[in-house]
Amino acid sequence: MRRSATACFLLLTALSPLGAAAQSGLVSSTATVLLSATKVAQLSVTVNSGATQTIASLTDGTVNNFPVPVSITTAWNLSPSTAAVVLVGYFTSPTAALSNGTNLLPSSRVLGRLGTSGAFTAFTGGAVTGGSSTIGVAGGTLQLFSQGIFGFNRNSSRTDDLYLQLNLTGITTVPGAYTGTLNLRAITQ
């Protein structure tokens, strides 16, 4: 019996490399891994300086200049299908852009312009739409710029100075502090 077991072992050992060679071309089924990566478009507006604007002493019957411009940086990283970036300034209540208790100054009395040349324009425009989004308020909005987007500038930024005025021509204000908030937002079109 011992001889038979030894012979069997020797036979298996001798045949073992042949058994491994016979299975060398065996292939498994394919397992897959789905890879996905998304780059989200980015659009931002930052006030670099001039976030607080103060006219120390209003003068009735004339145009009052705010002392320093608001420095604004608009930055974007957008898909090539975007046509434009639009920067908008607006007041949430056109009838009360600035208020002193119950004494109100409408957005039509606030004027703005980008840069040092060109005419000042009142914040009296309509809301601005881009796709399914809308920013601004009817009668209290001013479009500050529309920057076309092309292949070379789809990832870019620009910095602008917004000059502001308070037009009190033809009116007399009640003494006190008038305060309000100008909103700045960008939208793609």
Mean pLDDT of 61-84: 97
Mean pLDDT value across the chain: 92
- The model's pTM: 0.83
**Residue among 135, 115, 114 at smallest CA distance from 125:** 135
Q: Is residue 4 part of a domain?
A: no
Q: What is the band of 27 on the pLDDT scale with cuts at 50, 70, 90?
A: very high
For 186, the token pair is 């960008």
In the chain, the percentage of residues whose pLDDT exceeds 70 is 88
User: How confident is the model at residue 23, as a pLDDT?
Assistant: 78
Q: What is the band of 2 on the pLDDT scale with cuts at 50, 70, 90?
A: low
pLDDT at residue 4 above 70?
Answer: no
CA 42, 48, 51, 54 torsion: positive or negative?
negative
Q: Is residue 17 part of a domain?
A: no
pLDDT digits (tens, 9 = 90+) for 37-61: 999 999 999 999 999 999 999 999 9
Mean pLDDT of 110-135: 97
Q: Is residue 32 part of a domain?
A: no
Mean pLDDT of 113-138: 97
Q: Is residue 107 part of a domain?
A: yes
User: How confident is the model at residue 10, as a pLDDT?
Assistant: 52
Q: How far apart are the C-alpha atoms of 154 and 75, rounded to whole Å?
A: 10
Q: Do the beta carbons of residue 106 and residue 97 sit within 8 Å?
A: yes
Q: Is residue 8 part of a domain?
A: no
Mean pLDDT of 5-32: 68
Rg of the chain's alpha carbons, rounded to an integer?
35
Mean pLDDT of 118-146: 97
Into how many domains does the chain fold? 1
pLDDT at residue 1 above 70?
Answer: no
Q: Is residue 30 part of a domain?
A: no
Distances (CA, A) of 64 to 15, 20, 59, 133, 166: 103, 94, 7, 34, 5
**How many alpha carbons lie under 13 Å from residue 100 in its C-beta half-sphere?**
9
Owning domain of residue 125: 42-188
The CATH number that applies at residue 97 is: 2.60.40
pLDDT at residue 131 above 60?
Answer: yes
For 178, the token pair is 């008038």
Distances (CA, A) of 69 to 9, 21, 59, 157: 95, 82, 19, 19
Q: Is residue 7 part of a domain?
A: no
Would you state the torsion angle of the CA atoms of residues 58, 63, 68, 71, taken in this order, to the nearest 10 degrees? Answer: 130
